[in-house]
Chains A and B, each alone.
Chain A
Amino acid sequence: MAVAQKGETKIWRRRECGKQFAKWATWLFGTAIFVYCFQLISDKTIWAFVTDAPQQAGDLGSRMLPPEWEYMNDLWRPLWDTINIATLGTLMALVLAVPIAFLAASNTTPSVVFVRPVALFIIVASRSINSLIWALLLVAFVGPGVFAGIIAIGLRSIGFCTKLLYEAIEEIDPTQVEALTATDASGPQTLTYGIVPQIMPAFAGISVFR
């Protein structure tokens, strides 16, 4: 790390010459990319709109506060719908996430080569499509309404819950599982008594978080 360079005396530099140059070049390249991208954005920006932002914020604020409580009568039903969507969507996601998590964890999957990539692909596909996009697609499929919302939330949550769950499964203590197999427990028994108790805290946390 510290390089001594001899003329007549030794000089300490933090990095060697080549690395210092590479670092400088990376900074230059990165700054060039940033400036280029910002140029692209500002070409499409109408700067007059940007400079009058404080007035817009004031306008929005004056209309926003105080909130009109008369609207609340219209809002109770949709609020209840929202709570239902969240609960049922999360339940659906958890029910589906548990088997997929077991298939995706490298220590409990039946086949590392065939089954695990499929399970991982399901997780990635579910996570990469944002909730809003899922919702738009599902409204086109099943029509507008609460049902589309439940499925959209569920599909998105599958990816989230499964990812955290399978990471929790991979982190379990193998000695407990080994103790169970030593007492001649069958597969499902090992699962229920060996693995599930260890991931229960993580599972509870994930469900509430989601």
Chain B
Amino acid sequence: MTVTSTVAGILLSIPIALGAARNIAPRTVYYFCRAIIATSRSFQEVILAIFSVKLFGFGPFAGFVTLSVATVGFFAKLLAEDIEDMDATQAEAVKATGGSWSQWLNYGIQPQIMPRFIGLSLYRFDINFRESAIVGIVGGGGIGATLNTAFDRYEFD
């Protein structure tokens, strides 16, 4: 559950982070993406977990959805701040040589944010690993479900 939700969350948050960076996004896209991030971060993981168990039934899929949504908020925010901190001259240089939009992203922006990106993914992986125990308690599957069963049987040891 940790692996899949981290990967899915990161894939979902890359476009949102690009849209939430003040220096590369138009104003309307910027506000829209920031609203998505704020909504995702305002819910505690347990509440999201209960909500998704209601929607998707018990089992690890609900946990996967919960952790992905939580990851999006966390990851996109920090990545957007890193994009805003980047050196604009490198990106401008790529644009000046006539690069297309995807080349501008790939060669101008991506090399600058890669170190932070890798660090954040590992950090989020660790956080998701811990959160999956909590999510499992409310029915999300994984080790939390085993924990819950043990609690119900008063098997504290």
Contacts and interface: CB of A to CB of B under 8 A. Distances in A.
Given A44-B59, A45-B57, A37 B130 contact: no
B30 interface: no
Given A33-B3, A34-B7, A44-B141, A133 B55 contact: no
Contacts of A49: 56-59
A133 B55 CA distance: 25
A41 interface: yes
Contacts of B57: 45-46, 49-50
Contact of B60 (A30, A41, A57): A41
A33 B133 CA distance: 21
Interface residues on B, range: 20 to 34
Contact of A133 (B1, B4, B134): B134
Interface SS of B by simple majority: helix
A140 B151 CA distance: 11
Nearest to A57: B55
B61 A132 contact: no
A56 interface: yes
Given A34-B3, A37-B3, A57-B55, A42 B130 contact: no
B131 interface: yes
B4 A45 contact: no
B134 A41 contact: no
A89 to B, nearest CB: 16
A172 B100 CA distance: 45
Nearest to B61: A45
Contacts, number: 56
A132 B60 CA distance: 19
Nearest to A40: B60
Contact of B55 (A30, A42, A53): A53
Interface in B59-113: 59-61, 64
Interface in A120-142: 128, 130, 132-133, 136, 140
Contacts of A30: 7
A60 interface: yes
Contacts of A56: 54-55
Contacts of B141: 41, 44
B36 interface: no
B120 interface: no
B42 to A, nearest CB: 15
Interface of B: 1, 3-4, 7, 46, 51, 54-61, 64, 130-131, 133-134, 137, 141, 151, 156
- For the complex of A and B, 7 pairs with smallest distance between CB atoms: A49-B57, A45-B61, A53-B55, A37-B3, A41-B60, A37-B4, A56-B55
13 contacts: A34-B4, A37-B3, A40-B60, A41-B64, A44-B59, A44-B60, A45-B57, A46-B57, A53-B55, A60-B54, A130-B130, A132-B137, A133-B134
